[in-house]
Structure 1
Amino acid sequence: MRDVNVERRREAARALVEAFSTFGDDALRDVWLFDQRGHERLYLRDDVAEKIADLDVTRFVDNERYGYVTRDTYSDLYYADFAYTVRGFDGFEQFRTFLSDGDRKVGVFASFDRREGGYDFGALSDSLAEVVADYPVDAFGPE
């Protein structure tokens, strides 16, 4: 189904992680891609890897897949386009959005250590849109 070559996928993944890293600097904890069939870890900070070692990552990602439904629901209910979701946890915040081109949507989520004053997630969303403009959405699909 995917006709994007391996090197182009690597470039797209690097550009995506770079956008998250530039935004969050050392506060970036992890970056994950997912679609309806699978998921892929693009970045995982060592201390976070230790914390999730016993976590059922597949179950966690399955929960993020509900975003496909809620994204469509919000798009149908509101007068503005739905862009992203942020969840706050004690110690970190998680950002999730969907990279899309027509009907093809690939989910991406990342978490950041909490910081005083918070983050401008709208700016992150804009940065990700710039990255996605440079690659076909299939380049971001998980392997």
Structure 2
Amino acid sequence: MSGESNSEELAEELISACRTSIGDTLRSITLFTAEDYDQLYIRSDLEQDAELDRFVANERLGFTSQQTYGDSELGEYEFTIRAFEYGYVTRVIVGDRGVYVTTDEMHMDEFDELATAVRGVLRENTGAA
């Protein structure tokens, strides 16, 4: 992603926010835009060279979903959770950037804390409201 020092600072902030909110449950963090992505963190006990293209392509669909649900009576989009046999994927999008975080199994209330932390970092770094 562009702007190396800004990217490093954003990566550090996202890692810190995620680690603070969910601790060792954190598996990985990937920052993405419509054109690019960067895996910011992966826990040492996991496969370090996993193919991310399919995951990123799927999570990019969230940019379209935001537009679809934009004027919904449900309110503003906050985050998406996908449940799997051994963990979860949580996606947060703010403006033109998104982050998806993979985790081990967690309690449902921890997802709100995680998404709030990620959304706060993205808003701070994108100027989005």
Which structure has more RCO (C-alpha within 8 Å, separation ≥ 6)? 1
Letter in 1 for 2:37: H
Following the alignment from structure 1 to structure 2, what is the Cα–Cα distance between the partners of residues 76 and 91?
Answer: 34
Structure 1 gap segments, 5+ residues each: 138-143
Corresponding letter in the other structure for 1:22: T
The Cα offsets for residues 29-78 of structure 1, whole Å up to 9 and x where unpaired, read as 0000111111110001123225xx4x542122111111111121112333
The match for 1:67 is 62
Alignment pair present for 1:110 and 2:71: no
Per-residue CA deviation, residues 82-117 of structure 1 (Å, 9 max, x unaligned), is: 1100011011011001122xxxx10100011003x4
Select between 127-136 and 29-38 the one with higher mean Cα deviation: 127-136
Q: Structure 2: any 5+ residue segments left out of the alignment?
A: none
Measured after TM superposition, the shift of residue 79 of structure 1 is 4.3
Larger radius of gyration: 1
Letter in 1 for 2:33: D
User: How many equivalent pairs are there?
Assistant: 126
Q: Which moved more, 1:123-132 or 1:22-31?
A: 123-132
Is residue 2:77 matched to residue 1:82? yes
Identity of aligned residues (%): 27
- Provide runs of 4+ in structure 1 moved above 4 Å: none
The answer as to whether partners of 2:99 and 2:118 remain within 8 angstroms in 1 is no
TM-score, normalization by structure 2: 0.84
The CA RMSD over aligned residues, in Å, is: 2.0
